[in-house]
Amino acid sequence: MEIFEYAPAPESRAIVSIRPSYDLFIDGEFVAAESDRRIVSVNPADEEPLSEVAAAGDADVDRAFAAARRAFERVWSPLPGAERGKYLFRIARIIQERARELAVLESLDNGKPIKETRDVDLPLVAQHFFYYAGWADKLAHTGLGTRPLGVAAQVIPWNFPLLMLAWKVAPALAAGNTVVLKPAETTPLTALAFAEICQEAGLPPGVVNIVTGAGDTGRAVVSHPEADKVAFTGSTEVGRQIARAVAGTRKRLTLELGGKGANIVYDDAAVDQAVEGIVSGIFFNQGHVCCAGSRLLVQESIAEELLPRLRARIELLRLGDPLDKNTDIGAINSAAQLARIRELAAAGEAEGATGWSPACPLPERGYWFRPTVFTGVTQAHRIAREEIFGPVLSVLTFRTPEEAVAKANNTPYGLSAGVWTEKGSLMLWTASRLRAGVVWSNTFNVFDPASPFGGYKESGYGREGGLLGLEAYLG
C-alpha cells in the first residue's frame, strides 16, 4: 500500500514572462542585430521553443566592442571604486529580489531542477556580485594593482548560465573593466534577463554588452582586436582553439575547461555521507559540471559494501519535470549533448564495463538520460578518460593511498577531486598530492565566492572567485 507518495509540486512558470524574440544588448539598449540569423532556444524538458534570439554577426560584435571601449574610457574606469561597488551591490540586490523568476527561467532554458536553481545557482549568483562589490573600493589592498585591463571578451557555457555570467562579469566590473559577453547558444535567456537587470540598476550604457549567438559569434568575440582580455569557460577543445587564436597578441587569457574529477573513498570514510558525496558529485546538475566527480575511486576493501548502498541511494533519485520542486534529476541540456552521453555510455559497454541504471521512467518528450553507474572500469576505458558531461559515473578501485593518488592524477585534466576519510593525516597526505585545482575534503561540489576555482593541466589556467579571481582583471 502506497500510503505516502509525493504529489506533483510544480513551481509556477507564470512568474516569468519570456518575450517571443530578443535583440542584442549593446550600449545599454536592446538593439536589432544587423545579422539576420536567429537561434531558437528550446526547453530541453519538452522540446518546445521558448524564444528566438539573434545570432550576432561580425558587425554586431564590432558595435558591442565599440560601446564597451567607449564606456571603459569615458565612464567606468574613471569612476571611483566605491561608486562601481554601489552598482554591483544594486545588481546583487535586484538578483535576490527577482531570484524566483530567474530560477524558473533558468530551469526552463537549461533543464536543471528548480531545487538547484533556487537553492544553489541563484544564491551563488547574488553572493558573487555581493562579494566582488565589496572589493571594488579595496583594489589598492589586493596587491594586484588597481589598473583594469580594458574590455573583457567573455564566453560562457550552458551548464550554469547565470552563475558563469556572475563569475565572469562581477570581478571584471569590480576591477573597472567593461565586458562583451556571449552566453551559450542553448541557454541565452537568463543572460538577457540580466541585461534587463543592468538597465534596472541604471548601469551606465556599454559597461555590459551581451551578444547572443553560436560558435561563429563566440569566435568573433574572442578574436576581436578590441578585446584586452579573453575569459572562456567551456570544453578543452574550444579552449585550445582560443589559446591558439590569442597566442602572440596582447590579450590576457583565462580558461576554465573540462575535467575528469576523482572522488577517492578510503575504507575508513563516513560511508553514508560518502554515498551522498558521490551522488552529488556526479548527479548534481545532471553531471553537466566541469568539476564533477565522474570517477569514483573506492578502496577495494569496502567496494562491496559501498556499491549496493550507492545503488540504493540512486534508486531514490526523482527524475522528471525540472519545475517540480521534488525533482532531483532534470533534463539533458540539448540533443547534441544527449547524443554525446549516449555515445560514450555505449563505448563503456563495448569496452567491457558494466552499466547499471535505476528503473525510473523517462518522460516521453525532451532530452533525458538515466543516472548511470559503470563498474568494472579500467583506466584504459574511454569512460575513465574522457569527459562525459552527463550523469554517468565510472567506478574504479584501488588498494593503497599511493595507488589512489596515482590513478586520480592519471588524467590530462586537473580541475577537481574529492577525498573521503575520517583520518586527518591521510586527508592531508592525499590532498597535498592531488594535482587538481579544487580538492574537497569529505564533501563535493560545494562553492563559495571567496574560494578561488580553476584547473591544473588541460583543465585550464587562471582562477575565478576569491581574491585571486581579481588577478585576471587587473594589470
198 has catalytic annotation: no
Rounded to a whole number of angstroms, the minimum distance from the CB of residue 268 to other proteins is 7
Interatomic CA distance for residues 167 and 156, integer angstroms: 10
Interatomic CA distance for residues 376 and 385, integer angstroms: 14
Binding mask 116-135 for other proteins (x = CB under 8 A): ---x----------------
Nearer to other proteins, 207 or 278 (CB): 278
Residue 413, CA distances (Å) to 262, 279, 347, 437, 459 in order: 10, 21, 20, 10, 5
Scanning 41-49, 199-207, 263-271, 398-406 for contacts with other proteins by CB under 8 A, the matching segment is 263-271
Q: Does 9 bind other proteins (CB under 8 A)?
A: yes
Going by C-alpha positions, the residue among 265, 277, 262 that lies closest to residue 423 is 265
Choosing from 113, 277, 293, 348, the residue that interacts with other proteins (CB under 8 A) is: 277
Q: Does 4 bind other proteins (CB under 8 A)?
A: yes
Rounded to a whole number of angstroms, the minimum distance from the CB of residue 388 to other proteins is 25
Nearer to other proteins, 5 or 237 (CB): 5
Choosing from 56, 173, 210, 269, the residue that interacts with other proteins (CB under 8 A) is: 269
Residue type, 191: A
Q: Does 15 bind other proteins (CB under 8 A)?
A: no
Interatomic CA distance for residues 380 and 129, integer angstroms: 42
Binding mask 215-244 for other proteins (x = CB under 8 A): ------------------------------
Interatomic CA distance for residues 283 and 160, integer angstroms: 14
Residues 6 or more apart whose Cβ sits within 8 Å of residue 269: 302, 420, 421, 422, 442
Scanning 64-72, 211-219, 270-278, 366-374 for contacts with other proteins by CB under 8 A, the matching segment is 270-278
Choosing from 34, 216, 226, 268, the residue that interacts with other proteins (CB under 8 A) is: 268
Give the other-Cβ count within 10 Å of 243's Cβ.
17
Choosing from 272, 304, 343, 448, the residue that interacts with other proteins (CB under 8 A) is: 272
Task: State the DSSP string of 274-336.
Answer: HHHHHHHHHHGGGG--TT---EEEEEHHHHHHHHHHHHHHHHT--BS-TTBTT-SB---S-HH
Scanning 1-9, 253-261, 351-359, 394-402 for contacts with other proteins by CB under 8 A, the matching segment is 1-9
Alpha helix locations (H) across 153-270? 161-174, 189-200, 215-222, 236-246
Nearer to other proteins, 114 or 434 (CB): 114
360 has catalytic annotation: no
Q: State the catalytic residue, choosing from 106, 185, 256, 387.
A: 256
Rounded to a whole number of angstroms, the minimum distance from the CB of residue 138 to other proteins is 30
Residue 59, CA distances (Å) to 29, 68, 69, 87, 206 in order: 16, 14, 15, 29, 16
Interatomic CA distance for residues 127 and 51, integer angstroms: 28
Q: Does 422 bind other proteins (CB under 8 A)?
A: yes
Q: Which residues bind other proteins (CB under 8 A)?
A: 2-9, 115, 119, 268-273, 276-277, 316, 325-326, 422, 442-443
